[in-house]
Structure 1
Amino acid sequence: MNFDYFDKLWNSNVSSVEESRNHWDFRAKDFNSNKSEKNVKQVVSFFLEKGMLHEGCDAIDIGCGAGKYAIELSQIASNVTALDISPKMLEYAKENAEKEGAVNIKFLEMPWEEVNVDELGWNKKFDFAAAIMSPAINSRESLEKLMKVSKGYCFMSGHLDRHEKVMEDIERIALNREPSNIEYGKNIYLSFNTLWIYGIHAEITYHNMDREITRTLEDAFNYYCAQLQRKSEFSDSKKEAVKKYLEEISEEGFVKDTFKSKNIWMYWKNP
């Protein structure tokens, strides 16, 4: 077994930095409003339980989004470096950190693909490096960077499977097609095998996450169209079909959805 096989799988269908930035900028408002304190605390408790995180450590949060994990980490770590590709996500993150009085977080607008570990002086700088539900680890190079910045533990997580009822109903009823298949868990699968080749045997656990999400009719239309457009070309006629369906199922101008997912948590200690 060698790297070539997995590199070919990894390097397919990777969005450009600009495409990713635009996508996450667009999703920032929705992402910020759908926060689950219970899920955040569950993840950070896991870090403490496994000895990955400890008081006084330096931590880095790669793909920090609206800052919910960085803020929770900052209550334990001495310093947290939190970076994201999306300037709009970081606006929310800074606002959220200010509300919580989290002053030991350094937020950086920085795509992980463009990070130069040596130039930044980040070689083995952090006790703990995490990419929590982040698409930033999408190549062997990006995984090796994650390993390089940590002198202790690394953690990454992602969806193995996810279902949004309204999204699936839109595809079946409004668009008259079967819901599109997405390769959830691909980055974790490829990371695990790459680490194996390096002689690192990562540990994996599985966790279910269920929640209800309520959006305004306008926000729902924008969200579902953006998600569907990433799957395939999305014409004006399809947008009209989505709009009509959402209007039919909305209640007093709001759309309720149920979100169910099985998530993978993977962690290892660098040798």
Structure 2
Amino acid sequence: MQQNDNIKFITDCWTQSVVNTGFYDEKKTACFWDKRSGEFAAGMRDAWRGKKTDEILSFLESSGFSPEGKKVLDIGCGPGTLAIPLAKTGAKVTAVDISSGMLEKLKETVKKESLAIDIAECSWWTADIDSLGFRDGFDLVLASMTPGVKDFDSFKKMMACSKGMCYYSNFLKRGGDPVQNEIFMLTGRENPAGYANGMMYPFMYLYLLGYHPEVRISHSVWKEESPWEEAGRKTAEFVGRSRECDEDTLNVIRECYKKASPDGIYRSETDVYTGMMTWKVKDF
């Protein structure tokens, strides 16, 4: 009885934390990631992103997963950060994302390199896994740093698609940008950083069910440098995911970034801790 109570309490907490973010409007979310698709596709070619991808593939290997001939579902695949290297090493990948912009970038690579990747544009929050033929259909199901798996229901749906292993990663801690913090204070908006959908709830849910996922934690410092106008635009898009930005809010954002960029360039460093975990759903 106590275990059932514990599971109910953690899933209730998880659900409420997502409600508090106010981020999860499907249309706004798709638009947000469409605008960033070019940036993310270009980022796949940088050394830091390549190193992170290698770390994930190495973790999967050490967890006992070999991609050759396996069926893989990549939820929130983006431009193919993981789908592409897994397909190149012999996996049969199905990649889904809510963003048509991200999927267009992936389709370009698939066509250019003749990769075995099936692509589907859909929202994981409302996807019917039975109609899609996904239930119990994959040897590995991935959800890597994606808002696609945002709560108990979408996490449970992810697990239902696996007949073997699952991989999940998200933030443990992400330091706040000082200018963004100032903007939230000046505009009276709630800073969503404290409610970020991260590792805690998924891990505790699995633990309470009796799973013992393998976990790897990493630390990095994200450095960004861009014209203050571009930095302000990105923050306006971020804020606009939960509520429309009126002209007063846009003016506050512009002035904050302009003030913090005396030479016209905004520079920031963000301390980031992320977690990865794997578990075998059919071994339990």
TM-score, normalisation: structure 1: 0.84
Q: Deviations over 1:216-250 (max 9, x none)?
A: 44432210112234577754233223223434555
Q: What is residue 160 of structure 2 aligned with on the other side? A: 148
8 Å contact from structure 1 (residues 162, 262) kept in 2: yes
Q: What is residue 93 of structure 2 aligned with on the other side? A: 80
Residues 1:262 and 2:266 are matched in the alignment: no
Count of equivalent residues? 268
CA separation of 1:241 and 1:117: change in aligned 2, threshold 3 A: closer
Q: What is residue 16 of structure 1 aligned with on the other side? A: 25
Q: Deviations over 1:87-115 (max 9, x none)?
A: 1121222234445x151111210111222
Q: Trace 1:103-252 onto structure 2 (pairs within 5 A).
A: 103-163=115-175, 167-172=177-182, 180=191, 182-183=193-194, 186-230=197-241, 234-250=245-261
**What is the rounded CA distance, in whole Å, between the counterparts of 1:96 and 1:248 in structure 2?**
41
**What is the rounded CA distance, in whole Å, between the counterparts of 1:119 and 1:26 in structure 2?**
30
CA separation of 1:63 and 1:139: change in aligned 2, threshold 3 A: same
**What is the rounded CA distance, in whole Å, between the counterparts of 1:25 and 1:34 in structure 2?**
15
1:95 to 108, 123, 129: 108
8 Å contact from structure 1 (residues 185, 264) kept in 2: no
Q: What is residue 50 of structure 1 aligned with on the other side? A: 63
Q: What is residue 25 of structure 1 aligned with on the other side? A: 34
Q: What is residue 64 of structure 1 aligned with on the other side? A: 77
**What is the rounded CA distance, in whole Å, between the counterparts of 1:74 and 1:254 in structure 2?**
39
8 Å contact from structure 1 (residues 21, 86) kept in 2: yes
Identity of aligned residues (%): 26
CA separation of 1:155 and 1:252: change in aligned 2, threshold 3 A: same
Q: Which moved more, 1:125-134 or 1:88-97?
A: 88-97
Amino acid paired to 1:240: N
Secondary structure at the aligned position of 1:65 is classed as: coil
Unmatched segments (≥5 aa) in structure 2: none
Q: Deviations over 1:191-240 (max 9, x none)?
A: 22322343322232211122333334443221011223457775423322
Amino acid paired to 1:220: A
Q: Which moved more, 1:78-87 or 1:193-202?
A: 193-202
**What is the rounded CA distance, in whole Å, between the counterparts of 1:199 and 1:247 in structure 2?**
51
**What is the rounded CA distance, in whole Å, between the counterparts of 2:236 and 2:196 in structure 1?**
23
Amino acid paired to 1:158: N
**What is the rounded CA distance, in whole Å, between the counterparts of 1:254 and 1:95 in structure 2?**
33
**Structure 1 residue 68, shift from structure 2 partner:** 1.4
Secondary structure at the aligned position of 1:223 is classed as: helix
Amino acid paired to 1:257: S
**Structure 1 residue 66, shift from structure 2 partner:** 1.9
8 Å contact from structure 2 (residues 67, 91) kept in 1: no
**Structure 1 residue 174, shift from structure 2 partner:** 9.7
**What is the rounded CA distance, in whole Å, between the counterparts of 1:214 and 1:267 in structure 2?**
34
Root mean square deviation, CA, Å: 2.9
8 Å contact from structure 1 (residues 58, 77) kept in 2: no
**Structure 1 residue 175, shift from structure 2 partner:** 5.9
Secondary structure at the aligned position of 1:23 is classed as: helix
CA separation of 1:18 and 1:232: change in aligned 2, threshold 3 A: closer
